Chain A
């Protein structure tokens, strides 16, 4: 068991964004969250990645209590994410974006940088190598020196994934990675996500592209008005009448 979420609730004023949501994600699987807009998927994401503190409930990463930690601590502990509205460092190059992702796995400080100590230089070299490798891994190494904001939409999504992978996550959380992608971009994204999983990273994704989700994930949960209404394998979910009514629509 990699991630266990137990009875997490989150309210915004009178709005119950999440009510007693529990789910668990196994190591090495691709787990998806689906549901209509406003169902609480992104809220759950923000709880897991430390942006929101849950009102009640708990969650554990490999047995470690995580609820209420700051986002930077989440990244350090091994939960990394991408954003629904891409949030790259626009005026940094693709390379630098990924290098920032190495921040929490490196430690050189001000003095090391000023005096160019041997540790700092070798660390910098390995950061650079790792970043180049990750750009290559997601397939945008040819854009390494371009500014993030000048990349195409699909490449920006890939860059966000590379940046998140740079933190060496145990759980990579992707918020609508295929949003706004065309058919062929979605296909190559699917290949990338499968490769990431094969290389040992557990994936959690929110996705509206039902075809992508059903073809890719091992298990999924359906959220509706902040409650989990179903959980199971794609075929179980597709046959669940409640889900069909709430989200998928009758065929």
Chain B
């Protein structure tokens, strides 16, 4: 198939998907698709930090929270401010980027487990702040969160009137982040990120200012998180600290790792899969009902069990992720080749 035909086919599929989904499964599933796209943006952002630069970040959801609360505070009756979304989204991305650097700066010398612990703490700090900043002055609404957030609207047309509106907005922005990710990956800075992941000392010896380059990774990754945070606030109309727990960070990390760390398409695949799978598993209950006439296992508890099992299986069988980058695949294949080659040599030697 010619490349442009392939692209055309993908475009057609993506553009008709919500209508098809609505027709076949109902509006709930269109919402699930919207969330899947939101997760694509989040996972792509985390992929820059974890996948490209190799900096394990367990508090990524904090940037999502920054974007979401910025939008919520400046476009809701809470402070009586109603700024337009086209201003708030870039502001959210920018603010999250600043927070990314704030997290990055003190952790520059940390790697691996140590970095993971600090970032985990950072994520919790942000969440707890949001939870407690309601007294003596009510800034974040505390545990109640912020309600009645303005929906994303174009002029007089609010996207809340149609389920499809958000789909197309999210699709556009998700494709945008994928495009940016790909561009970055094959750029001077992207190569520097990977070099730091592979060997920080050698990277520095090659003239890479590891401090700046790491901060760039933190800021860039965080800004994707901030952008999706803003979208989330407008889409849900409500934010509360509950949405930004550690579980959420881990979920996004799972999407990156499961899909194929450092591989943009793999990460997109991973995030779509992991955001849809738990929803699809809800149907396990009704399915039992129709087959056995009785529900043996409650789907709400089974769901996470199956989900965990799926994760374990994937990591055992495909350690590089479901869809690793072509280089990574080739390298695994080459290792097999070398092993075979060495085995033959051993065999030959034994025969001699």
Contacts and interface: CB of A to CB of B under 8 A. Distances in A.
A99 B209 CA distance: 16
Nearest to B205: A71
Interface in B171-216: 180, 183-184, 187-192, 194-195, 198-199, 201-210, 216
Given A110-B220, A147-B327, A150-B338, A71 B204 contact: yes
Interface residues of A, number: 46
A123 B199 CA distance: 24
B340 interface: no
Contact of A92 (B187, B194, B207): B194
B96 to A, nearest CB: 15
A124 B187 contact: yes
B191 A103 contact: yes
A51 interface: yes
Contacts of A147: 327, 330-331, 334
Interface in A25-74: 49, 51, 70-72, 74
Interface of B is mostly: helix
A91 B331 contact: yes
Contacts of A106: 188
Nearest to A79: B205
Contacts of A87: 199, 201-202, 205
B332 to A, nearest CB: 10
B187 A108 contact: yes
A113 B184 contact: yes
A114 B202 contact: no
B41 to A, nearest CB: 15
B194 A110 contact: no
A128 to B, nearest CB: 11
A147 B206 CA distance: 18
Nearest to A91: B198
Interface string A95-137: 0100111111110111011101000100110010000000000
Nearest to A98: B206
A72 B204 contact: yes
A92 B206 CA distance: 15
Contact of A80 (B205, B208, B330): B205
Interface in B209-255: 209-210, 216, 220
A99 B208 CA distance: 12
Contact of B207 (A72, A91, A96): A72
Contact of B198 (A51, A92, A104): A92
Q: Which of B202, B216, B327, B330 has the most CB of A within 10 A?
A: B202
Interface in A156-209: 163-164, 166-167
A18 B296 CA distance: 74
Interface of A: 49, 51, 70-72, 74-76, 80-81, 83, 87-93, 96, 99-106, 108-110, 112-114, 116, 120, 123-124, 127, 146-147, 149-150, 163-164, 166-167
The 6 closest A-B pairs by CB, nearest first: A104-B207, A75-B207, A113-B187, A89-B198, A87-B202, A71-B204
Interface of B: 180, 183-184, 187-192, 194-195, 198-199, 201-210, 216, 220, 327-328, 330-331, 334-335, 338
11 contacts: A51-B205, A72-B205, A72-B207, A89-B202, A90-B198, A93-B327, A96-B191, A96-B194, A113-B187, A113-B190, A127-B188
